[in-house]
Structure 1
């Protein structure tokens, strides 16, 4: 997938002074898409460098910024470092559960309940060539 770092940084900076929608603190969260990205392109919104082999995830900027306790400094976001369990069902397959650690914000995630994961996680569900799985369910571990 495309690098999202510049757009994430810009969107977080633009949303710093703007009012953001409040996000429910508890799930389950349903109806989003599972996609993949390369976290190795640079620092994530949580301020860390991650490899494509790290089991990390990015949540939509609106979710990330609107989560209770979020401040204008994304490195201090209470979501950073939290684990989530995602259930995704590839087309024609059975549901697969994966666990990820939140490390970034997703600039290209249009659906508030979507999750963008590292290739190492997406490939546990289906081929990277698929690119997107609709209708996931996820919650905090």
Structure 2
């Protein structure tokens, strides 16, 4: 995913002639969500192999991240970071009861990679991690 998103970003900067020496992330898209309910959803534009990076910020909130397909709930306090495959896992954040909640969601879109001719990365596997990082 790192390589595919990095390649896509470099090509977009070059093709669009954006006067940017670098883009500060491997992700092509970012959303800022402030004090909002995030209804149950799966992310439609990403590939199943893309991981979204969600950064929970703010002050004094008690937000919970629900992974609905897993019937799981996690604390989503300020300073929490989550990587999840938003296309594959239904997720939501219900109404907070106190404080100020800010989330920066980083994501990539499969159509951008297709347009640029960049192959979709495969899902990571335990065998792949062992061979790549420990057995070299």
Greater C-alpha Rg: 2
TM over 0.5: no
TM-score calculated relative to the size of structure 1: 0.30
